[in-house]
Amino acid sequence: MKILLTGATGFLGSALLKAFLQQDFTVCILKRSFSNTWRIEAQLDHVQAYDVNQMELSQVFQENPDFDLLVHTAANYGRAPGTSSLSVVHDNIIFPLSLAELVIQQKRPIHFINTDTFYTKSAFFYSHLAAYTLTKRHCLEWLKLYARQIPVINMRVEHVYGPLDREDKFVPSIFRQLLANVPAVDLTSGQQRRDFIFLDDVVSAYIAVIRHLEAGRPGFGEYEVGTGQSVAIKDFIREMRTVAGSKSELNFGKLPLRTGEIPDSQADTRALEKLGWRCVFDYKQGLSRLMRDFKKQQQSEA
């Protein structure tokens, strides 16, 4: 199997890249010339990398007429200082739709697997990530139209956590404070619930879907990726403190909830389970595994 992967330098994309290579898939990746490749340095010699800011996307398909699958994980969350709304629109709508157009032009069965998020569920509109959420929703609606011509699969991922995530993300930022035994960690009430899924389980879900791809007939399909159960953020953070052996005080209710805060989200995993996929890590097991990874990283940095 030959795969074109976007977002390979990111948190999820890098984990997928490593798994694809372990599965003996042939992988080409799309990145920018200035992308930070620290997560995939060991894998770069085993892939064909294209710098999309220095070439036409069509060249990638001209040089690789035998792609079986495109896995799209790249995204612009709009968090970086100075990020414009237009750049979020380009990265989250124009870029993936340009790829879909090129897939259509190949006139052969190439599956398009899109990475989506629970933030874009129709019942939610999370103001904290408004530009990201809006553009991801628009992209998905367009991909449903493209599904009339190509096979499209949407992977709607719940709150994924695991090693090598950005330090400013929710789980690693809280974990590092707890490991440092800061006097107190200010938090919201923590009553809102999330389906926290460990990175390895997300990766295995993608592999399960890829292994069960049918002949490339046009159409749209979706898989919700999570444990299938939500847990209160308060309980999740308390378990983080236990695993970290921290003495930090947890100040629940110190911070206000964001506008449009999502009260509860969990995946319906029945479609994945029909493929034989099962979640391996509950949140306690996942946090214990993550704790070991943090300790290894601290030792290597010492």
Helix (H, G, I), strand (E, B) or coil at 92: helix
Q: Rounded CA gap, 77 and 94, in Å?
A: 15
The answer to whether 293 touches 165, Cβ cutoff 8 Å, is no
Q: Which helix (H) or strand (E) holds 54?
A: none
Residues linked to residue 159 through DSSP beta bridges, in sequence order: 196
The answer to whether 21 touches 2, Cβ cutoff 8 Å, is no
Residue 11 backbone phi and psi in degrees, to 5: -60, -60
Q: Residue 85, Cβ neighbours under 10 Å: how many?
A: 12
Q: Rounded CA gap, 30 and 7, in Å?
A: 7
Q: Rounded CA gap, 18 and 174, in Å?
A: 27
Which of 16, 66, 68, 63 is CA-nearest to residue 43? 16
For residue 201, CA distances in Å to 155, 159, 187, 197, 232 come to: 13, 12, 27, 7, 20
Q: Token pair 């926290």 is at which residue?
A: 196
Phi-psi label, residue 3: left if phi above 0, alpha if psi -120 to 50, beta otherwise: beta
Residues linked to residue 37 through DSSP beta bridges, in sequence order: none
Residues in the chain: 302
Q: Which of 77, 126, 132, 161 is catalytic?
A: 132
> Is 132 considered catalytic here?
yes
Active-site residue numbers? 132
